[in-house]
A and B are shown apart, each in its own frame.
Chain A
C-alpha cells in the first residue's frame, strides 16, 4: 500500500499494453492467413477435379462420349449463350423455367404457410387433417409430374403444379412446427395486453414462425426448380428441362451438363436474393448466430 510501490505497477501495466496489441495483431494475421488458405484449397480442389476430368477424358481413360469433358461443356454453354439453343435463345429457356418455378414456389409457399399456421393454431383442424397430410407427404410426389402433364398439358401449368406439390410440404411442416413452438409466454403476454385471437395469430404466431418458415424457403426454392425441370423433362415446349431431354435424345452429354451448370447458377442467384431478403426481415434478431 506504500506510495512508492505505485510507479512500478503503473510501469508494468504500460509495458503489457504494446504486448497485448502485438498479440491482437498476430491473432488477426493468423485469422486472415487461415481464410486465404481455405480459399486457396477450394480453388485447388476445383481445378484438380475439372483438370483430372479433362485429362482423363482426353486420354480416353473415361469415355468422352458418355462423360464429356469440361472444355466441351464450356463450349456448349458458350454456343448456347452466343447462338441460342435449338429451341430459341437461352435466355428464353431460362426465363421460362424460372417463371414456372417461381409461380409454383409462390403458390406452394402461400398455401403451405396458410395451412401450416391454421393447423398449428386450430387443434381441431390438425386432428382431422393430420393423418391425411402424413399420407400425402409419404407419396413420392415427383411421380405426380407425368400425371400433371396428362391433366394440364404441355404448357407451363403442369410444371407449376409439380413445383407446388414439391414446395408445399416442407413449407407446411415448418410453418406448422413454427406455430406450435411459439413461446407460450409471448402468447399469454399478448392476450393480457388485450390481443384478440386473430391479433395473436397475426402479430405473435406468424412473426415468431417466420424463422422456421424461412428455413424451409431456402430448401423449397430448390424443390420448385426440380419440379419445373422434371415437368419440362417429361413433356414441354420450352425450358431448360426440355433442353436436358433434347441433349439426352441426341446423345449430347455436354448439353446435359451445360444445362445443369446453368441451373446451378440460377439456383445460386435465387438463394442469394433470398438470403438478402432474410437479412432485411430479421433485423430484430441478434446477429451472433451468423457464421
Chain B
C-alpha cells in the first residue's frame, strides 16, 4: 500500500558529475530535490545546456546519480525499469524496421507474443493516425510522422512514467503545436506522470500542471510554478488567454535571469 501513496518520482539531493574527455569533472546536476505526483504533467524549463536532460536520464535509469537518491514509485531506481517511457529529442526510431515493427519493438522486447504485440501496435498507430503507413520505413516519413511513431512506440508499453526530452524541438512551428495537442490527448487517457523537458516556456505552460524552473548549470531547482489553466487545453488557443500571459510573465522573470547568467558565461568563455 505504501507504494501506491508514494509520489511517482522523487529526487533527493541527486547530483551527477561526469568526467570530461580532457580528464576534468563536469557537474551537470547538483543537489536536485524534486517530487512529481502520480498523473502529474510537469514541464522542466531552463537555459540551454544546464543539465535538464541529465535529470531525465537519472530518472530513466540510463545513468546513476553520483550522489543522492532517485525513487520511482517509492523504489530506488536500479537500471532501466519497465515503468518508464522515454521520447528522445533526436530521432530514435529503428531505421531498418517498418513503422509497425518499430511500434511492436517495445512489447516484443518485453516478451509479449507476436500477435498480441501486433494488435496493440496497430491500436496505437490508429490513435496517432498512421494506420495507412504501417509498412513504410522511417526514412519515407516526414519528421512529424516519425515523432508520432516514437510516441506510439512509447505509449504502447503503457508507461506509468513518461520522460520527454525536448521531443518536438526539431519540428516546425505548426507541426509542433499539432503534436502538443496530440500528446495531451494521448496522455489524458493514460494517467501517466510526465516529465517534459523543454527550453520553450510557452510550450511548457501550455502543456503542464507544474513548471519547474532550473538554474543555470549545474542544474538545480530554482522555483516551481503551478499552472492553473483549465483542461482540456488546446495549445494554440490557450496561449492567447490573459491568465496564460500573466503566468508567462511571472515565470519569465525567474527564468530570464538564469538565461542571462548562462549567456554571460558563454560570452566570458568566448573572450
List the interface of chain A (C-beta within 8 A of B). 183, 185-186, 188-196, 199, 203-204, 207-208, 210, 283-286
Instruction: Determine whether B196 belongs to the interface, using a CB cutoff of 8 Å to chain A.
Output: no
Given A185-B92, A284-B96; A194-B110 close (CB under 8 Å):
yes
Check A190/B105 contact, CB under 8 A, given A207-B96, A284-B97, A285-B95.
Answer: yes
Distance from B158 Cβ to chain A, minimum over Cβ atoms (Å):
12
What is the CA–CA distance of A283 and B154 in the complex, to the nearest angstrom? 25
In the complex the two chains form, what is the Cα distance from A204 to B96 in whole Å?
A: 9
Interface residues on B, range: 20 to 34
CB-defined contacts of A188 to chain B, threshold 8 Å? 62, 86, 88, 92
Q: Give the segment of B4-12, B23-31, B77-85, B220-228 that binds chain A.
A: B77-85
Query: Which B residues between 181 and 231 are near A, CB-CB below 8 angstroms?
Result: none
CA distance A194 to B96 in the complex (A): 18
B74 at the interface (CB under 8 A from A): no
Question: Cβ of B94 and Cβ of A186 under 8 Å apart?
Answer: yes
B139, A193: Cβ atoms closer than 8 Å: no
Establish whether residues A193 and B96, one from each chain, have CB atoms under 8 Å apart when the complex forms: no
Are A190 and B90 neighbours in the complex by a CB distance under 8 Å?
no
The CA of A285 and the CA of B97, in the complex, are separated in Å by 10
Contact indicator B94/A192 (Cβ below 8 Å): no
Complex Cα distance A286/B141, Å?
11
* Docked-complex contact A190 and B139, CB < 8 angstroms: no
Task: Please measure, in the bound complex, the distance between the C-alpha atom of A188 and the C-alpha atom of B96, giving whole angstroms.
Answer: 17
A189/B86 in contact, CB under 8 A? yes
A285 to B252, CA, bound (A): 44
Docked CA distance A117–B88 (Å): 26
Are A191's CB and B62's CB within 8 A?
yes
Please list 16 pairs of residues, one from A and one from B, whose beta carbons are closer than 8 Å in the complex, sorted by A's number. A183-B92, A185-B88, A188-B62, A189-B86, A189-B92, A190-B109, A191-B80, A192-B85, A193-B153, A193-B157, A194-B110, A194-B157, A199-B109, A207-B96, A284-B139, A285-B95
